[in-house]
Amino acid sequence: MAATVVVGLQWGDEGKGKTTDLLAESVSHVVRYQGGDNAGHTVVLADEVFKLHLVPSGVLYPHITPVVGSGVVVNPETLLAEMATLAERGVDTARIRVSDAAHVIMPYHVTLDRASEARLAGGGIGTTQRGIGPAYADRASRTGVRMGDLLDPDGLRARLERAVPEKNAILVHVHGLEPFDLDALYDQAIAWGERLREHIVDTVGLVQRALAEGDHVLLEGAQGTLLDLDHGTYPYVTSSNPVAGGACTGGGIGPLQVDQVIGVLKAYSTRVGSGPFPTELTDHRGRHLVEKGHEFGTTTGRRRRCGWLDAVPLRYAIAVNSVSSMMVNKLDILSGLPEVQVCVGYRIDGRIVDEWPVRAGDLARAEPVYETFHGWEADLRGARRLQDLPHEALAYLDGLEALAGAPIALVSVGPERTQTIVRSEQPARTIGTAGEQDASKRRLLGRLPRRPIAGSVATARAPGAG
């Protein structure tokens, strides 16, 4: 019995689709466990680029059953459009299974998301405006519509009769917008149900049967830990739980059924939307990362904010996800930078801290304390083994691993499957005993300056970096 969770350790867009792609051969089911069409997975397969928002990337492999779990919010319009595009490109979409308990993003959710962001005029969350937050809010207020309701005409009408008048009151009286017509919404929802009937099932039973039969199930998170509703930079977060714990609730498995948690990160940081980002670079180095890394959102096309890797939230993410090993993506993008930095702590109101602050206000005032590594010029895209990497890039990976406290198993130097370096086979769990954690923390603290430092950043040479 084996379930592997693939989770983002930053603000999303870490390249989780590529990790799934690498593991696909050994997997029978790929389960999306949260989020909705706010996500974007880019998978490059045999020279073809697939951009998926809702359908799990497992759909591209004929032996895999792609599952949309109960923790996902589904916009049926997006799902049907994505299935149609995949089918046009010869991908078999008949295998897609969608949880009957997954909540539906109704048209009024999308309108409400847009209206509340517009109302906050620049002070909003910077959502993807896909109706994600309002759909999850209805789930929590017990006024949501679930995928199973689309197959139950009487039940559906009762759900809509309860929800729509309230939504209309808000749309009209708070936002000054037009109300939705209940009958038209009902007809649209029934039509979705008819088209998706074969796909809507009890996915918990499906996943549990697969595990009981000894199949390997992969649970694929969307977004990342720093956008998690509980663990992220609240309120600048999404409205679900991308952390590995979300794989249990939203994927229909128990914690002891997970045997590996693969944490995915980029060799630098990116963030889309509003919210604090202590290591953000707004100068030529930020432009280097945006341009070389093609850092534009898959879903909204927005330019991503870019900056150095931040080991402070990374350590937090490794702990709350119980990450067993990591995949570092886009190492090749750092080529050409004279120096590469990693944030190892913050100075907040004159105090040095190495722990992820709970309050967004603290984070907004945090000045990063950096460790500086030598950069490298070499193009890494052709590297296939560790020996192919320049020693500065190796030192960066070693330093990163020591700062993070979890093993880096895989390194990616390009979007294609072959552009991957296996650094270590061992999926060891290093967040083990409290003693080990303390030792790892002492190592990190040992790198922090003991006295307040002059200037805004401190630099130290990486071990082995000369």
Q: Which of 38, 225, 341, 412 is the binder for ligand IMP (CB under 6 A)?
A: 38
Catalytic annotation on 13? yes
Give the residue carrying structure tokens 């895209």: 381
Q: Which of 5, 23, 39, 327 is the binder for ligand IMP (CB under 6 A)?
A: 39
The tokens describing 335, both together, are 């080529």
Q: Which of 99/128 has CB closer to ligand IMP?
A: 128
Q: In angstroms, what CA-CA distances link 32 with 5, 162, 246, 248?
A: 10, 29, 10, 11
For the segment 213-232, give every residue that binds ligand IMP (CB under 6 A). 222-223, 227
Residue 106 C-beta: closest distance to ligand IMP, Å: 15
- Is 325 one of the binding residues for ligand IMP (CB under 6 A)? no
Residue 36 C-beta: closest distance to ligand IMP, Å: 8
Only segment of 25-33, 130-138, 191-199, 371-379 that touches ligand IMP (CB under 6 A): 130-138
Q: CA neighbours within 13 Å on the CB side: how many for 115?
A: 19
State the binding string over 280-309 for ligand IMP (x if CB under 6 A, else -): ------------------------------
Residue 302 C-beta: closest distance to ligand IMP, Å: 7
Q: Which of 57, 65, 239, 325 is the binder for ligand IMP (CB under 6 A)?
A: 239
Distance CA 417, CA 424 (A): 17
Q: Which of 271/347 has CB closer to ligand IMP?
A: 271
Q: Which of 130, 159, 199, 285 is the binder for ligand IMP (CB under 6 A)?
A: 130
Q: In angstroms, what CA-CA distances link 210 with 31, 203, 442?
A: 12, 10, 43
Catalytic annotation on 41? yes
DSSP per-residue string spanning 237-248: S-SS--SHHHHH
For the segment 89-128, give every residue that binds ligand IMP (CB under 6 A). 125-128
Beta bridge partners of 305: 271
Task: Please work out the total of residues on this chain that contact ligand IMP, with binding judged by CB under 6 A.
Answer: 21
| Helix 182-196 × helix 107-119 angle, to 10° | 120
Q: Which of 65/238 has CB closer to ligand IMP?
A: 238
Q: Could you say which of 21, 29, 37, 41 is catalytic?
A: 41
Q: Which of 70, 238, 241, 257 is the binder for ligand IMP (CB under 6 A)?
A: 238
Rounded to 5°, angle at Cα 196 from 191 and 199 = 165
Closest CA to 222 of 6, 21, 22: 6
Residue 272 C-beta: closest distance to ligand IMP, Å: 4
Beta bridge partners of 184: none
List of residues 6+ apart from 73 with CB closer than 8 A: 35, 36, 102, 103, 104, 105, 131, 132, 135, 136, 139, 240
Residue 436 C-beta: closest distance to ligand IMP, Å: 32
Residue 53 C-beta: closest distance to ligand IMP, Å: 9
Distance CA 259, CA 256 (A): 7
Residue 51 C-beta: closest distance to ligand IMP, Å: 12
Closest CA to 108 of 131, 82, 85: 131
Runs of H (alpha helix) within 273-388: 284-292, 311-320, 360-365
Q: Could you say which of 13, 37, 113, 228 is catalytic?
A: 13
For the segment 3-32, give every residue that binds ligand IMP (CB under 6 A). 11-13
Q: Which residue is nearest to ligand IMP (CB)?
A: 273
Q: Which of 82/371 has CB closer to ligand IMP?
A: 82
Q: In angstroms, what CA-CA distances link 104 with 100, 129, 138, 153, 184?
A: 10, 15, 10, 15, 16
Q: Annotated active-site positions, please? A: 13, 41
Where on the chain is the footprint of ligand IMP (CB under 6 A)? 11-13, 38-40, 125-128, 130, 132-133, 222-223, 227, 236, 238-239, 272-273
